[in-house]
Structure 1
Amino acid sequence: MKWSKRRFSPELTRAAKRDGQQAQLKALQDYWHTELAPGLAHAQTPDAVAQDVTRFVGGLDKLVTAFDHTTELRIERVVLLHRLMAVFMALLLVFTIIWLRVRLLEPWKQLLSMARAVSQRDFTQRAHISGRNEMAALGSALNNMSEELAESYAVLEQRVQEKTAGLEHKNQILSFLWQANRRLHSQVPLCERLSPVLNGLQNLTLLHDIELRVYDLEDEDNHQEFTCQSNASCDEKGCHLCPRGTLPAIDGGITLKWRLTDAHTQYGILLATLPNGRHLSHDQQQLVDTLVEQLTATLALDRHQERQQQLIVMEERATIARELHDSIAQSLSCMKMQVSCLQMQGDALSDNCRELLSQIRNELNASWAQLRELLTTFRLQLTEPGLRPALEASCQEYSARFGFTVKLDYQLPPRLVPSHQAIHLLQIAREA
């Protein structure tokens, strides 16, 4: 009865259906239903149904063997599948490691190396990451950032260099102006003061062929020239302030002029050549303007000192003239009167005495004339510093006195003769 229940078990039917043993199971079920079960019910002895039972058991054994074979095949397939899965997992693991190394580790190393380089201000490295994943996007972003930082740093460095160069240039300008101010107010001759200043101006600016003309009494035709190039007179004096040799020639240029003048007097003019297509910067223009002011102040101070020195000389000569008039002139006048008194006693004197008195009187007259000329010379008033204005005034004086024009041929450079020597030369010219 237990077998009868089991033969209709749904699990057995599903197992036979799954393993393809439905026909064999159905044959056993039919054999059981048609032959074995009725035989067992009507059998009197076991031997009567032994053959049927043996046949049925053999069928069951075949069915079980089929189930076992199918199960073994399934187990082998499962084992094979597991092995294949293991191999696949191993390959997948290796592929994953390689993929992670190629797609993650190497790009990550590049990004870290690039980050360290950027932190050290090295913007030349680039991340070479292919693909369209996140690491490639991050590498592209870092590359763009590095390029922008490189451009920014380049611009900043250029600005710093420009600012540094500008500050250094301004420092050079300030140092030059300070040294120029010290040199211009020193007590050396004017040429030794001006030549280094003009050379320094030419070195700090684009100007060349710089020339300074110092007027004599605001006369533009009569001036003294100072340049940046030495000449024969410099070699004769042993002066080595100006550069030797020939300066490189520059084709063309614009001549610029700066007048050295104040509210009352024009002292000279500064000439320079600027190459075509070039312009003075704001700092260079300020440098030239400031230097022109310093030169004007220096020339004005020199002119004032010349006038003061001339006034001192004139006062001293006037004092000497008064002393000569009060002492020697009076003594000569007294001696002339005494000689006149002696000559009035003509008959009482011998011929030798009268001749001697005549000689004494002539000598006194000559001495008096020389003293009068000397007093006239000492009383000369020079309205302007320098020898030329004094000679021109004397020519006008003699032209009015003689009735014909007295011309002056003056070929000496301006300011060659000092004021204290000009008086003596003027006296020599007047006596001639």
Structure 2
Amino acid sequence: MFTRGSLTSTILSLMLILILLSSSLAVFSIVNLTFSLGDAKGINASGSLRMQSYRLLLYTNAGSSNTDEKITAFENTLSSEALKRSLQWYSPKELRDQYLLVIDKWQVMRVYIEEGNTRLYSASLTDFVDTIDTLVLKMELFAAFKLKLLVIGQIIGLSILLVIAFFAVVFTRKRVVKPLQLLMDSAATISKGNFKVEMPKTGYIELTALGNALQKTAAELAHLYGDLENQVNEKTLALTRANNELKFLYDNLVMLHADKLDYKALQSAINQLKYYEDLTFLRLVVEHEDGSKDVIKAEGGWPDALPTKSVQFPLLIENTQMGYLDVISNKPLNKLLFENFAMMLTRSITIHNASEQRQQLALLEERAVIARELHDSIGQLLSFLKIQVSLLRKSLDYSCRNPEVEGQLTEINEGVSTAYVQLRELLSTFRLTIKEPNLSQAIEVMLDQLRHQTNINIQLKYKLSVHLLEAKQHIHILQLIREATLNAIKHANPAHIVVDCQLTDNGMITITICDDGIGVTHLAERDQHFGIGIMHERANKLNGIVSFNSNQLGGTTVTLSFPPQQEPLNG
């Protein structure tokens, strides 16, 4: 922008002009007054010349001896400084000429007086006095001219001062006050938070610098304000997102702990995570202590060929990995959310496992109490009945004995013996001492007890996930496996027995007890025995069935099939 110059220089120039003009007027007035100081004295002196001319005529006619003194006095007045000023350079030519004319005529008049020629003096006196009057008039006119000149100078000076003052006021209002008012309005606008203001255009360096400084300050404030707004918006978005994430985690935590934790709940949780973060693929892999894994896939499944590398978030607790979240996404991942979600799943699974373990331990303790009660009550009663049957047989008179009675006594004795054996087996199962409260450990402990009673090779193949079975199902499975294994040991004469526990492709839990003994003939002989019936009852309580089949290479397979406590996983 074009700048005219400094505002202070312009104002200083105006002030100097005003000072110079005022000074000039003062100097002009002083000079004029100086030149006018002797005007009155000169007029008075010229006026006295007329009187002295008439006195000379009077003294001459009277023949007075004072005539020479009056002549001297007349000449002194005529040559006084008051009248000689008429010869100065600033006096008009007519005034100078008139003064010289008076002097010339006085020389003639003086000759007349010295000669005593009163007649000629009297005849010339009127003309001489008229010449003096003319001199007086010229002097008065010159004095009046100087006064007029002073007045005109003052009027012109004052007019110029007024014009300059008016121009200065207009200039100040237009070039200074108005831009300053606009700057103040801009400052007020900035103070209200509106930093997009245009500074007024001005042609002066100071106002331009002030406007530029205010414009720069406004721009910097706008930048800072914009940055603060962006930071506030970012913080607000971050807090909103954090709040939403906390709500999301809290809702899932409530859902996972609202009811019994199962894999349906875990799948529901990862489904919510997938839709919340708009993920491409998501799955949860749960690792078990035996090395097996369960895979829970979110809706949409999991690709066989990964389009991109997946990101894993481990489920860690006390340096123990319980599994991981496997994520495939086309967008950047919110790692903190996934880590917190993985931590939540880890704690939920840990709490669930601990609860299951406490429940199983409670069941084991309860069974131990029941075992003691059964041993102290029913066990002793069965022993007493067995002794009573033996005593009854010995004390029975021979006349009362017949095949029918003997058969009944034998059946009663076998029934009591069988009940006692079943009770002992039940007590053995109830009294199992296991290190970990899970079905695999319990079966292994139970089979280990049987291994000490026989030379048969007994193997266990356990491939079931913990989540598929409830603690209350364990006792039925244990008793059924024990019953089938004992039947094989006692009646099938096998060399090997294999207990296989797995989840079949049709989603059913299948437990098989396979031996290489003599086949199902021993079972046919015992089909009416209530031990087999108890096995069917236990299968019914598991909502399953138990079957007995012959193997192609010899031996028998007892198969227990029942549904899991929840839907199996496709992992």
- TM-score with structure 1 length normalisation? 0.69
SS at match of 2:322: strand
Report the Cα offset of residue 272 of structure 1: 4.2
Question: Does the aligned pair in 2 maintain the 1:257–1:270 contact within 8 Å?
Answer: yes
Relative to structure 1, is the Cα distance of residues 68 and 187 closer, same or farther in structure 2, using a 3 angstrom cutoff? same
Question: Does the aligned pair in 2 maintain the 1:257–1:272 contact within 8 Å?
Answer: yes
SS at match of 1:415: helix
In structure 2, the partner of 1:418 is: 470
355, 358, 362: which one aligns with 1:302: 355
Mapped partners of 1:286, 1:63: distance in 2: 125
Residue 39 (structure 2) pairs with residue 39 (structure 1): no
The one-letter code matched in structure 2 to 1:330 is S
Mapped partners of 1:341, 1:73: distance in 2: 185
Residue 327 (structure 2) pairs with residue 273 (structure 1): yes
Relative to structure 1, is the Cα distance of residues 6 and 195 closer, same or farther in structure 2, using a 3 angstrom cutoff? farther
The one-letter code matched in structure 1 to 2:477 is L
The one-letter code matched in structure 1 to 2:414 is N
In structure 2, the partner of 1:235 is: none
Q: RMSD value over aligned CA atoms?
A: 4.8
Report the Cα offset of residue 344 of structure 1: 9.8
SS at match of 1:257: strand
Give runs of aligned pairs for residues 158-169 of structure 1, distance below 5 A.
158-159=230-231
Residue 368 (structure 2) pairs with residue 315 (structure 1): yes
Mapped partners of 1:184, 1:372: distance in 2: 45
Report the Cα offset of residue 300 of structure 1: 4.9
109, 121, 132: which one aligns with 1:49: 121
Question: Does the aligned pair in 1 maintain the 2:426–2:479 contact within 8 Å?
Answer: yes
Report the Cα offset of residue 323 of structure 1: 5.1
Give runs of aligned pairs for residues 8-407 of structure 1, distance below 5 A.
8-16=79-87, 17-21=89-93, 24-25=97-98, 27-42=100-115, 44-46=117-119, 48-50=120-122, 52-67=124-139, 70-71=142-143, 74-125=146-197, 127-128=199-200, 130-132=202-204, 134=206, 136-156=208-228, 158-159=230-231, 188-191=260-263, 194=266, 211-216=283-288, 218-223=289-294, 225=295, 229=299, 252=308, 254-262=310-318, 266=320, 268-273=322-327, 278=332, 287=340, 291=344, 294-295=347-348, 297-316=350-369, 318-319=371-372, 321-322=374-375, 326-327=379-380, 329-331=382-384, 333-334=386-387, 336-338=389-391, 341=394, 345=398, 348=399, 353-358=402-407, 360-362=409-411, 364-365=413-414, 368-369=417-418, 372-373=421-422, 375-380=424-429, 381=432, 383=434, 384-390=436-442, 403=456
SS at match of 2:327: strand
- TM-score with structure 2 length normalisation? 0.55
SS at match of 1:18: coil
Report the Cα offset of residue 63 of structure 1: 4.5
Report the Cα offset of residue 354 of structure 1: 0.6
Question: Which one is further off, 378-387 or 89-98?
Answer: 378-387
Question: Does the aligned pair in 1 maintain the 2:267–2:298 contact within 8 Å?
Answer: yes
Relative to structure 1, is the Cα distance of residues 298 and 143 closer, same or farther in structure 2, using a 3 angstrom cutoff? same
SS at match of 1:19: coil
Report the Cα offset of residue 24 of structure 1: 0.8
Q: Deviations over 1:257-295 (max 9, x none)?
A: 3243447xx5722314375895767x6588468646634
Mapped partners of 1:313, 1:325: distance in 2: 17
Report the Cα offset of residue 12 of structure 1: 3.4
Relative to structure 1, is the Cα distance of residues 39 and 104 closer, same or farther in structure 2, using a 3 angstrom cutoff? same
Relative to structure 1, is the Cα distance of residues 332 and 307 closer, same or farther in structure 2, using a 3 angstrom cutoff? same
Mapped partners of 1:52, 1:199: distance in 2: 147
The one-letter code matched in structure 2 to 1:255 is V
Mapped partners of 1:416, 1:379: distance in 2: 25
Relative to structure 1, is the Cα distance of residues 296 and 63 closer, same or farther in structure 2, using a 3 angstrom cutoff? farther
Mapped partners of 2:355, 2:282: distance in 1: 22
The one-letter code matched in structure 2 to 1:273 is V
Question: Does the aligned pair in 2 maintain the 1:212–1:269 contact within 8 Å?
Answer: yes
Question: Which one is further off, 301-310 or 59-68?
Answer: 59-68
Matched-pair identity in %: 18
Relative to structure 1, is the Cα distance of residues 227 and 12 closer, same or farther in structure 2, using a 3 angstrom cutoff? farther
Relative to structure 1, is the Cα distance of residues 295 and 103 closer, same or farther in structure 2, using a 3 angstrom cutoff? same
Mapped partners of 1:339, 1:328: distance in 2: 16
Relative to structure 1, is the Cα distance of residues 179 and 323 closer, same or farther in structure 2, using a 3 angstrom cutoff? farther
Question: Does the aligned pair in 2 maintain the 1:253–1:276 contact within 8 Å?
Answer: no
Q: For the pair shown, which has the larger CA radius of gyration, 1 or 2?
A: 2
Question: Does the aligned pair in 1 maintain the 2:283–2:327 contact within 8 Å?
Answer: no
Question: Which one is further off, 169-178 or 3-12?
Answer: 169-178
